[in-house]
Structure 1
């Protein structure tokens, strides 16, 4: 068996009419859309595996990396040799950087190869990773960016009424974060992702103001994100810290943990190397007794890759991030849903489901 083709599928899915969000939150040039990059790997005997790279405005660069750099290096190689192939590609491409679009691109191919491995063996991916007795897992609602307290309140109310026991904000202003806590009440877990918005001193000051809100975690408060010692200073102030989605190598995850900078570590399978590297972070974190909360701000194969890996390797502390967006469509259509804050672990071979072909046909962009 050999890899015969690698093909990319850029999707542009609009929000439903009337959905309000912070200007230019995710779409290029302020468009109220979300861009997703899927990758299909096909073998010479007809098996297909699907992967996903982190999308949004960086999608065109990642797509070029797959189409023009990585795909030609993979065609003809054995898809069952995932570790050796990914290691070889990382070594050959390291001079161009150990994170960013090339690593995002490698992530998609890795996920697709694990999908193929499960399909070839006739078992779900989590079986290849050690197995699980779980049929579903807890998840939290990861909200759109709104920028206005009244919009935040409305979104939080929707998520709570839908049965989510935990809600994550993408808000940088304290009034919006406070509005979320007021709306949710004391029994709902609230997390706040500020996307590396503050200096260490600013983060320390904000952490003090956020203390009464009892956040489950404050996510990526410090710029630049690789300032692990500064992040550790903020954590030592008493607020729980989560970070890791911007890390591309296992060694940097080790440095993050060695600095005792995080309460929760957040590898992102569609950004840092797919299932192969994600599973290594679980092992590394277990040695440090740090819970893993994968970053899965996407709804395609990257999400399923995390779901299977969590089912096989995580502790009971881990929650799945469910992107709670009002988009016109989702990559898997109605196949993948959340009920009362729980998401099912797919039982089919590989990732357990393929992207909805009608969604791909309708929203293919470029």
Structure 2
């Protein structure tokens, strides 16, 4: 079973976000469409697997990496020898850096190969990872950044009405967080992702203002994100649990983060840091360091499915799945994994369990 073809497919689906979004790390101010980079891998015996690369505004660079760098190295290789192949391409390409477009591209191909392996063996990915007894997982609504407190409050109300009891904000203003907590009440868990804006001293000052809102965690509060000693200090002194990891790219990054005692919750992003092959290692590393994995999934394609399968098989009872909370014009998987009452199903079909809807891909395809 050889890799015969690798295709990079860009789709852009319009969305309504419950109000105008502020500029954030993942996109543009007032963005009104969600861009995704899918990868379709086809084997010599006709099995297809789907992966997803983190991309957003960097999609052109990642697409070029897939088509011009990764595909020539992977085509003709065994689709079943995922670990050895991914290690080989990482070693061959390390001179281009261990993060960014190359690693995002590797991640997408890795996820697609796990999809193929599951389909070839007739097993869901979570079974390949050791099995799972859960049929569904709790998920949290991950809101875009709005900045305006009244817009934040309105979207918190929307998410609660949709059945979510866990919410994540991307605000950096205290009043916006105050509005969310006041609207949600005391029984709703609220997480806050600020996307690396502060020095350690600034983060300590902000944490004193944020502490009354009883946050489940404060996510990526420090610049630069690899300042693990600074995160560890904040964790000791802030009085708020700390989460980070979406910007970590290698197992060594996660090891250094955990050895430093930098986080309560570690957040690998499977479409950024090597796919399922590397993601399963982070779960083991976190367990050895008494930390909880909360997979980062601010996307809704195969990368999301990868996190669901890994969390079901390797996560703890408290594992939560991130759901990007805005109203897409079309869902890549239809209603198959759309959250209901704040829970998301664990697909039971072979591989990732569900393929992208070809009509959706065709309708929202971005031609290069």
**TM-score normalized by the length of structure 1:** 0.98
Alignment coverage as a number of residue pairs: 366
Question: Judging changes above 3 Å, is the alpha-carbon distance between structure 1 residues 124 and 255 closer, same or farther for their aligned structure 2 residues?
Answer: same
Shift of 1:330: 2.1
Alignment of 1:10-159 (within 5 A): 10-16=10-16, 19-23=19-23, 26-27=26-27, 31-159=31-159
| Displaced runs of 4 or more, over 3 A | 16-19, 23-31
Q: Distance in 1 between matches of 2:291 and 2:321?
A: 16
Question: Judging changes above 3 Å, is the alpha-carbon distance between structure 1 residues 248 and 334 closer, same or farther for their aligned structure 2 residues?
Answer: same
Q: Distance in 2 between matches of 1:118 and 1:176?
A: 44
Q: Distance in 2 between matches of 1:200 and 1:18?
A: 33
Q: Deviations over 1:37-73 (max 9, x none)?
A: 0000000110000000112111111111001100111
Question: Judging changes above 3 Å, is the alpha-carbon distance between structure 1 residues 319 and 29 closer, same or farther for their aligned structure 2 residues?
Answer: closer
Q: Distance in 2 between matches of 1:158 and 1:23?
A: 21
Shift of 1:333: 2.1
Name 1:273's counterpart in structure 2. 274
Name 1:229's counterpart in structure 2. 229
Q: Is the 8 A contact 1:6 1:40 kept in 2?
A: yes
Question: Judging changes above 3 Å, is the alpha-carbon distance between structure 1 residues 267 and 18 closer, same or farther for their aligned structure 2 residues?
Answer: closer
Which consecutive unaligned segments of at least 5 residues does structure 1 have?
Answer: none
RMSD (CA atoms): 1.3
Q: Deviations over 1:254-277 (max 9, x none)?
A: 000011010100000000000000
Q: Distance in 2 between matches of 1:24 and 1:168?
A: 14
Structure 2 SS opposite 1:50: strand
Name 1:348's counterpart in structure 2. 349
Shift of 1:334: 2.2
Shift of 1:16: 3.3
Q: Distance in 2 between matches of 1:186 and 1:356?
A: 39
Shift of 1:33: 1.5
Alignment of 1:221-300 (within 5 A): 221-237=221-237, 238-300=239-301
Which has the larger displacement, 13-22 or 152-161?
A: 13-22
Shift of 1:165: 1.3
Q: Distance in 1 between matches of 2:120 and 2:15?
A: 36
Q: Deviations over 1:4-39 (max 9, x none)?
A: 000011011111397422257754585422110000
Structure 1 SS opposite 2:57: helix
Q: Deviations over 1:235-286 (max 9, x none)?
A: 1112100000000010110000011010100000000000000000000000
**TM-score normalized by the length of structure 2:** 0.97
Alignment of 1:181-260 (within 5 A): 181-237=181-237, 238-260=239-261
Q: Is the 8 A contact 1:52 1:270 kept in 2?
A: yes
Which has the larger displacement, 186-195 or 314-323?
A: 314-323
Which consecutive unaligned segments of at least 5 residues does structure 2 have?
Answer: none
Q: Distance in 2 between matches of 1:187 and 1:332?
A: 31
Shift of 1:361: 0.6
Q: Is the 8 A contact 2:19 2:151 kept in 1?
A: no
